[in-house]
Structure 1
């Protein structure tokens, strides 16, 4: 699967999930311990704005962790997603990209982090709001390969961005294997 095709599919489906959230669901718990649905959506959009700016060689003016969406989070997300995809298409992958401040990483690593972020948080949002998981086996398999190449063990564990790998059965779907690799229990209920 081509990189831009993978990213476009994941972002499109994540945008659909954001659009599918009802106002009455914003306070629901999610698989992310510190986030309810509204906080997760703010996180998803805030970090997308950061990735989008970096992809275009700009510095994001705001604080991604403090972002608060306006009245139409799905439209906000889709606009940033379209610009991010356009940035990867225009500037390519043979470069370094700023993520936060002066922290520059190889473009491929930033791209990998982006697809991991949006497929996984899309899964979180789907689970929290009882929406169907929209991601394909091919998207999840490709993202898992990228996650295995990108995520070092020192970022796992207590007070770290990722939990320990959760064991899965041999018959687990590609999406379940990915979220388990990123520290989520595919079988647990939100905050389970």
Structure 2
């Protein structure tokens, strides 16, 4: 079992650092502004919490790419709580067992937990880059993401979830490697969009 707690805390710190005047700013996710990226984090934190509890329904059946995510008015108070709940839900051994559903896809619990962690890693980096915040990522989470992303190298395996792998030097950091495997340019800045 992986612990999503350290990475969830990293993302919570970033959420706290988002200013209102940054909500319309671009992100490394081409179709998302900061507002929509936060909306995606809001939705995925709830969906993967439900997936861990095997509470399958509307929240786990929705394709996250079907429409742009909406950010509720109470996101500043609610999103940090949801990130804590997400981490807590995946501390249960039963979350990692059997099958569950997220994003309308049925998958093994073990893979769903890894996907949830990877979402926090990559979208944490996206949020940090878009808002000019420091981000290191939890080393254990970065290694888990690299392992998962390294296994899905073909375009077919990667599907529409990730862009093409970006080549980085062999001596790149764990964070740079994870980001590049997630189809992002590690040198991305809002002005290089």
- Give the TM-score band, short-chain normalised: 0.7 to 0.9
Q: Which aligned runs of 4 or more in structure 1 are off by greater than 4 angstroms?
A: 62-67
Answering whether residue 161 of structure 2 is matched by residue 164 of structure 1, we say: no
1:89-128 alignment to 2 at 5 Å?
A: 89-90=91-92, 91-101=94-104, 103-128=105-130
Q: Mapping of 1:46-61 within 5 angstroms? A: 46-61=43-58
Stretches of structure 1 that go unaligned for 5 or more consecutive residues are none
Quick check: 140-149 or 166-175, which moved more? Answer: 140-149
Is the contact between residue 119 and residue 135 of structure 1 (CA under 8 Å) also seen in structure 2? yes
Provide the rounded CA distance (Å) in 1 between the counterparts of 2:185 and 2:76: 27
Match of 1:14 in 2: 11
Give the SS at the match of 2:187.
Answer: coil
Residues 165 and 183, structure 2, Cα contact 8 Å, conserved in 1: yes
* Structure 2 unaligned residues grouped into runs of 5+: none
Secondary structure (helix, strand or coil) at the match of 2:96 reads coil
Q: How does 1:29-178 map to 2 (within 5 A)?
A: 29-62=26-59, 63=62, 65=67, 67-90=69-92, 91-101=94-104, 103-149=105-151, 153-156=155-158, 160-178=160-178
Secondary structure class of the residue paired with 1:104: strand
Output the CA distance in 2 between the equivalents of 1:147 and 1:108. Answer: 15
- The 1-side partners of 2:23 and 2:52 are apart by 30
